[in-house]
């Protein structure tokens, strides 16, 4: 019996279609810049919001009607949810999904029971993957919801919390490997602090570095070859999270000798919470060779927290795709909808509308970005803007051959700098609009 009876396989119908349950832009097999849209975008559905979101907020309980969910913590309920998940993902035509250990399987009364529950559900996930061809983009361990992690996990003042988290990551790595997961994510929800009066920051960061090394070592031991990713976020739930933004993460990874093992999973609403655009975060990670994957969503300009809305803004998705294409596209990563429907959108069909819209908005952004790149107006402008560096002097400075003395000699001879050229921001913003 289908859980979304009113939905059949979502089809591409083209830009003229008014059918809300069809794609206007996402045409999986269509080739853009030499690669299919399916392979460029690598869409992924998240288990936590989509299968486990209830619509609760700090002011009231859940609102979502989910006829398949009996509200219990039972394995039967969790197994039924796997059927629901795969029906939805298959109807959407998304090739991937992602989960936390505790989204898919109930937490038991002991670590041993939680491990057993997780293994039981993983067996069903594997069967469903084999039956549908849907693949696991990434797994991650939830080390932030349970009260035992109130002070953090790897950065807790309580050594047992560190050990518990280590045990959870060990199991989650095993399951992610078993399911062919292409990445493994760490999002440090409580790896930060509320107040420095009670915090040994140096010791916490040292422990976080150790923790990641333990994971890297164990992955090597069991032959897990997926890409490790850190997901930056500056705050919420803590006042300050150590993985605040791309630059902070990369500095941490470099300081603790972890750079060869990690890339970043960048999330739009996390970028904006950090006071950056998503374009900035993508470019920063990209030029360091660390653009791994994205959590696709959007915040709300008028709200200062992580609202995790589905992306519907073509400016945003075009900017994302411009940066992703600039840095060579995804290898192990994808466009993972870490997004949730609003509390008022309480019916199962709202999940379908949300994903169809998000996928279409990204597909359209991909096509617009490819058109902008094909004409080359923006890249040519940037190239010309920096052309004074394409000189013998530029070569000397960029390769380290110049010295303060040589530059002083050059400037004494020249007297004044060559005239500046306009940044032409307004013209470039207008050019961008030509392609929308």
Say how far apart CA 214 and CA 169 lie, in whole Å: 10
Q: Pick from 42, 115, 233, 367 the residue near ligand XUL by CB under 6 A.
A: 233
Q: Pick from 174, 191, 267, 360 the residue near ligand XUL by CB under 6 A.
A: 267
Per-residue 3-state assignment (H helix, E strand, C coil) for 94-118:
CCEEEEEHHHHCCCCCCHHHHHHHH
Taking CA 29 as the corner, what is the angle to CA 24 and CA 32, rounded to the nearest 5 degrees?
A: 85
| Residue showing the smallest CB distance to ligand XUL in the complex | 187
Query: How many CB atoms are located within 10 Å of the residue 247 CB?
Result: 16
Q: Pick from 191, 231, 245, 360 the residue near ligand XUL by CB under 6 A.
A: 231
Q: Helix axis angle, 348-375 relative to 377-385, nearest 10°? A: 60
Q: Is 103 in the site for ligand XUL (CB under 6 A)?
A: no
Report in angstroms how near the CB of residue 402 gets to ligand XUL at its nearest. Answer: 44
Report in angstroms how near the CB of residue 336 gets to ligand XUL at its nearest. Answer: 8
> Which tokens go with 284?
């920063």
Q: Pick from 162, 164, 187, 262 the residue near ligand XUL by CB under 6 A.
A: 187
> Which tokens go with 53?
């979101």
Stretch that binds Co ion, among 15-23, 93-101, 114-122, 267-275 (CB under 5 A): 267-275
| 100 tagged catalytic | yes
Say how far apart CA 201 and CA 319 lie, in whole Å: 35
Query: Is the backbone peptide bond immediately before 49 cis, with ω within 30 degrees of 0?
Result: no
Q: Pick from 50, 140, 183, 332 the residue near ligand XUL by CB under 6 A.
A: 140
Site for ligand XUL in 25-64 (CB under 6 A): 48
Say how far apart CA 393 and CA 231 lie, in whole Å: 40
The one catalytic residue among 103, 245, 308, 338: 103
Q: Which H or E run contains 375?
A: helix 348-375
Cβ nearer to ligand XUL, comparing 123 with 148? 148
Strands (E), 296-410: 335-337
Report in angstroms how near the CB of residue 185 gets to ligand XUL at its nearest. Answer: 6
Q: Helix axis angle, 75-92 relative to 111-132, nearest 10°? A: 30
Report in angstroms how near the CB of residue 143 gets to ligand XUL at its nearest. Answer: 9
Q: Is 360 in the site for ligand XUL (CB under 6 A)?
A: no
Q: Is 243 in the site for Co ion (CB under 5 A)?
A: no
The 8-class DSSP code of residue 12 comes to E
Q: Is 295 in the site for Co ion (CB under 5 A)?
A: yes
Residues with a catalytic annotation lie at 100, 103
Residues that bind Co ion (CB under 5 A): 267, 295, 338
Residues that bind ligand XUL (CB under 6 A): 48, 100, 140, 185, 187, 231, 233, 267, 295, 306, 338
């Amino acid at each position: 019996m289908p859980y979304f009876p009113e939905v059949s396989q979502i089809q591409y119908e083209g830009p003229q279609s008014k059918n809300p349950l069809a794609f206007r832009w996402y045409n999986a097999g269509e080739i853009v810049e030499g690669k299919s849209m399916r392979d460029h975008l690598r869409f992924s559905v998240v288990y936590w919001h989509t299968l486990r979101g209830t619509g609760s907020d700090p002011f009231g309980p859940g609102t979502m009607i989910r006829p398949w969910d009996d509200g219990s913590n039972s394995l039967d309920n969790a197994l039924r949810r796997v059927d629901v998940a795969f029906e939805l993902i298959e109807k959407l035509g998304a090739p991937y999904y992602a989960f936390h250990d505790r989204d898919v399987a109930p937490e038991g009364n002991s670590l041993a029971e939680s491990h057993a529950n997780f293994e039981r559900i993983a067996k069903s996930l594997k069967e469903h993957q084999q039956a549908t061809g849907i693949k696991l983009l990434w797994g991650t361990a939830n080390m932030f919801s349970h009260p035992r992690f109130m002070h953090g996990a790897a950065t807790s003042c309580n050594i047992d919390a560190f050990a518990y988290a280590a045990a959870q990551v060990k199991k989650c790595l095993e399951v992610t490997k078993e399911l062919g997961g292409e990445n493994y994510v760490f999002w440090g929800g409580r790896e930060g602090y509320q107040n420095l009066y009670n915090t040994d920051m140096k010791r916490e960061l040292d422990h976080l570095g150790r923790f990641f090394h333990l994971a890297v070592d164990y992955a090597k031991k069991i032959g897990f070859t997926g890409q490790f990713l850190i997901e930056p976020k500056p705050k919420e739930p803590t006042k300050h999270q150590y993985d605040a933004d791309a630059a902070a993460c990369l500095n941490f990874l470099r300081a603790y000798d972890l750079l060869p093992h990690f890339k970043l999973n960048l999330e739009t609403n996390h970028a904006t919470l950090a006071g950056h655009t998503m374009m900035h975060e993508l470019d920063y990670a990209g030029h360091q060779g660390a653009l791994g994957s994205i959590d696709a969503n959007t915040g709300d300009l008028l709200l200062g927290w992580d609202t995790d809305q589905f992306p519907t803004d073509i400016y945003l998705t075009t900017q994302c795709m411009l940066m992703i294409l600039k840095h060579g596209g995804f290898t192990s990563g994808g466009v993972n909808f870490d997004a949730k429907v609003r509390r008022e959108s309480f019916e199962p069909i709202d999940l379908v509308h949300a994903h169809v819209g998000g996928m279409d908005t990204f597909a359209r952004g991909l096509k617009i970005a490819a058109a902008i790149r094909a004409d080359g107006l923006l890249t040519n402008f940037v190239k010309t803007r920096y052309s004074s560096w394409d000189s013998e002097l530029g070569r000397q400075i960029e390769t380290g051959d110049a010295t303060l003395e040589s530059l002083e000699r050059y400037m004494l001879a020249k007297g004044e700098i060559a005239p500046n050229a306009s940044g032409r921001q307004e013209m470039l913003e207008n050019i961008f609009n030509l392609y929308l």
